[in-house]
Amino acid sequence: MLPEELPLTELELGGRAEYRSLLGVERWPGLEKVIVTGIPSVEEVRGLGKLPALRQLVIHGARPVADLVRLRPLGALQIELGEVADRSAARDALPEAKLTFRGREDLTFT
């Protein structure tokens, strides 16, 4: 557990969705960028929506695409989606978001 007084601007949770939790993320109102694997739950999105400085959400393994509708309350946020099979369906699910896509073919290893 991270102390609440940390002046975090970026948070990356590397575990798969079923092994991580964003619940309580609103304790760090300075967060500008959050990086996760798997689409956040409705409750997690509620917490993300309470972050006044949040500018970017990166989701690795953004599937199933139908679950992206859970992110609609985040509005016009910049969202980077990884490994999305149907980009058109993702755009339909999140019409207000500023979407960018990253697939396995876009990844670079150093």
Residue type for 4, please? E
How far is it, in rounded angstroms, from Cα 19 to Cα 15?
A: 6
Q: What is the pLDDT of residue 16?
A: 85
Residue position matching structure tokens 């980009």: 87
Band the pLDDT of 27: cuts 50, 70, 90. very high
What are the CA-CA distances from residue 70 to residues 30, 64, 65, 74, 77 (Å)?
A: 23, 11, 10, 9, 13
Band the pLDDT of 17: cuts 50, 70, 90. confident
Q: What is the pLDDT of residue 104?
A: 61
Q: What is the pLDDT of residue 2?
A: 66
pTM of structure: 0.89
Q: For the chain, what are the domain ranges?
A: 10-102
Residue 7 has pLDDT above 80, yes or no: yes
How far is it, in rounded angstroms, from Cα 42 to Cα 58?
A: 16
